[in-house]
Structure 1
């Protein structure tokens, strides 16, 4: 049973086998040199201290070798993306064949929809959750328009029930059961950015596939946070960014997953470029297009090495620790955070994130009654960095890589004072 005391929080930190990881990150500080209480790893993860060294290595090799760095660098640039594949596959529960790091999140979603959204006159609709992240909504609406369909008519929203915030899987099942003959694609956020709800990805895949719908997942708020087990889930494709829980730096490259069942289908429509052509004949320059099997077959261009170096710096930490240990700490850390918030005697706030640890990642979404953003602003003034989302939610993500139990305790103590 948790206890609402500083001594107890500090004791939990002493017992935490991952506590040493915090020292491996740059923690932002206030003007007096004190660490911020940073709870926005769900927007931008903190920088690992070894990132600079990883990037510097590539800068040094660029200076030393010039173009020959593609083959002569300590970490040759030509196959550099392959250095990331195994670690990334473990994080999302995939086979190496199914994963590649490339482009950015929404670009990857569009490239995947080129292949997997193949509407007909009667089966063309796309299902998203009603409060999907805006970029997903914009992406699917533009795909509908591109294929000549009305963006409103072609979009089906999976909504929470009246006076509820969370989605119910049985409501999605009803939608697909009743309209499945018209639905071509389900594109669902695996962890909802607003509520923090972690959806049953495998069940979503089963529901969609029962009506011959393609199923794709946006894991922007899932990768490095939960364990989605993408291969076993059976979803057709997924994409995610790396700058949130994967700590790769602002705007860094994204990840892409294509299930093994599609790996060798060369007939899938796709946009082509130099980098998804057969590696053996790529430099011949005059060969007809010969697509690479697996997720690498969706690449277009040679990747930015400096961004990949930052990703590698973070993935090496994940490789050392493992998602199982991170999830175990995450459930305990967020559980303690939830306990402390629930101890506050007020009706001004409530947590809308699921209380079941298996139905959430590390984020708790705190709904503020009669919200005007003032509470969030006061937290910021007290060097507590959270994330405001309209109309009335403060998102807080205690990240197991670098947040402590004492962080959580001190944040809630300040919150109580402000309330």
Structure 2
């Protein structure tokens, strides 16, 4: 693994298992080769390699990522309540459009897809709410295999509707685009504000070790950063997603009519770049422990950054979508009647499990306020039940 040393130098230590060691060695070779080839590697490209390098990045290698045996637990992995509740929001949209399709970005284990399709099927046995197709846009071959195994447990009339994509579809569709904890995994540029100028974090090699250096931003990235109109103290360090408008345009272009819904942890811009948050928002997860060293165990831990939801709203607007909702996860779930999903029938252990899941999803000190939800409509005029309590003023 890679451990930080004095003077900003980062050193390689030995991973724990032979298979993991081989994977990390391949990743390290790819990173160092890129540094030598380009005379330095921007942090965004380091993060991209650490997470997505084919065959050896965190999301590309066959490491256990989700659940109790992995590195972190998402709302989806707590149980079926999250998906059952959001299915109600999807159903409202499906009623409004023709030939409905759901497209999920980064579907994790596939559980959300399976639970949503099951919930929509249960709402109306005539198939009124079941989409014509459920598209999964997945860049990880390892996760795609896990998803396929999960989807195969569904009844045939549901599993046959699921299709996998490597890129957004070229044909337009109506319906829903959904992503849970995807935005936080998009590679970010790390910057600092120094002497009234923005500087870009670039990694170099020194005696076989990674060293942080600060370079001048290319003009296009500097324009994106300055467009945020930030007022930052000297020495302030943080992040932003480069080319977010381009990414959003590509994701939403196929949607002709429908809903775009993202759920993730983050803030509106004023809170995101608050003066007290002067070290940024980068956080890593490994074996359910958080740390703030992205150079530790590269390829064997998740690297994320909190989301600037104001930037997401701007990107949605630039992609011809109308941002209509922003709120806490607990507001979204309450608006959709999550409390009505708990069943008092059956044994007490089942009721206790549901109550525990609800608490984790809803409590402010759990996921309730940490996770935010942003909704945008495209060529569709409707009221979303999940956004009755709206916090658009926080964007």
TM-score by length of 2: 0.31
TM-score by length of 1: 0.30
Q: Which has the higher contact order (CA 8 A, sep 6+)?
A: 1
Higher helix share: 1
Higher strand share: 2
